[in-house]
Amino acid sequence: MDLSALLTVGQTALELGLICSLTVLALFLSYSMLNVCDLSTDGCFTLGAAVGAVVAAAGHPLLSIPAAMLAGVCSGLVTALLQTKFGIDSLLSGIIVNTALYSVNVAVMSGSAQVNLNRADTLFTMVKGLLAGTPLAGQSTTVVAAAAVVLTVVFLTLFLNTRLGLAIRATGNNPDMVRSSSINPVFTTIVGLCVANAFTGLSGCLMAQSQKMAEINIGQGMVTIALASLLIGSTLLGRGGIFTRAVGMVVGAFIFRLVYAVALRLDVLPAFMLKLVSSVIVALAIALPYLKEQWPTISRRLSYKKAAAVRGGD
């Protein structure tokens, strides 16, 4: 791989990593802070893409951002209500909402499986025009994605250090203690999931506009990819304050995309292996602490079996 090809791969990985890191930050809030595994991520990502594409196609690229985030808030609200008001387990709530969102997303796209944005103005084409003739000309995707990530990280850092943000973090750590402190864990769960899904909707919107198309499967497997990126980021920058950990999520998303992009470029893995690789990374990252804890027991058992085999041979 020559230098120009390596730079192209790095540029692509940076753009995709920045856009997808918004979903990773969403899982950082819901999974790491609130201790809720939201499995509606795939559908919410597609919802943000669909709403953003439809609004942009109607001639309102700037309005597509708040519209997609509002759609994400609605998705998070439904998931949270199923979980807190109807007593449905958080995993089942996510699965239910994710399933329902398939029909919702098709309805948003007027019964079609995709929305084409080739002839429509998007946020990226607007910024491309603004950057014409500057040193950043041709870097509109990176500039927009980086700006969105910076604003999201700053907001998340400030939000999680407010009284409400601290209550959300406490709800994830010890909901019983939160109740004894006269804080309503139902409210903090609802707010946390709504904010997290707003980030996911924003990520889907930017992905659709950067690719000039939104299609019904654009978010398929996104929760696994985001979890893999989250675990990578937690390994690298998992200790420290909220800002450091949030930056770690962004770095994790970039590293995941970079490693996979290089593997694709070198023909190490075909494109359809992305989700399998993501699943393996998530499984290993979750299983490693348990295996490390169980290793002394496993080692003793292997030693006993080896000694028994030696005695049997004698």
Domains of the chain, by residue range, sit at: 3-268, 272-314
What is residue 1's predicted lDDT score, i.e. its pLDDT? 60
Entry pTM? 0.90
**Would you list the DSSP string of 116-179?**
E-TTS--HHHHHHHHTTTSTTTT-HHHHHHHHHHHHHHHHHHHHTTSHHHHHHHHHHH-HHHHH
Residue 65 in contact with residue 51, Cβ under 8 Å?
no
What is residue 280's predicted lDDT score, i.e. its pLDDT? 81
Return the CATH class of domain 3-268.
mainly alpha
Residues 128, 259, 229, 235: is their CA dihedral positive or negative? Answer: negative
Q: Which of 232, 214, 251, 171 is nearest to 45 (CA)?
A: 214
What's the token pair of residue 257? 């995309």
Mark the ranges of the chain whose per-residue pLDDT is less than 70.
1-2, 312-314
What is residue 287's predicted lDDT score, i.e. its pLDDT? 81
Residue 23 in contact with residue 200, Cβ under 8 Å?
yes
What is residue 88's predicted lDDT score, i.e. its pLDDT? 93
What is residue 196's predicted lDDT score, i.e. its pLDDT? 97
The alpha carbon of residue 125 and the mean position of all alpha carbons in its chain are separated, in whole angstroms, by: 25
Report in angstroms the alpha-carbon separations of 293 from 289, 297, 298, 299, 311: 6, 8, 10, 11, 29
Q: Which of 116, 76, 33, 100 is nearest to 202 (CA)?
A: 76
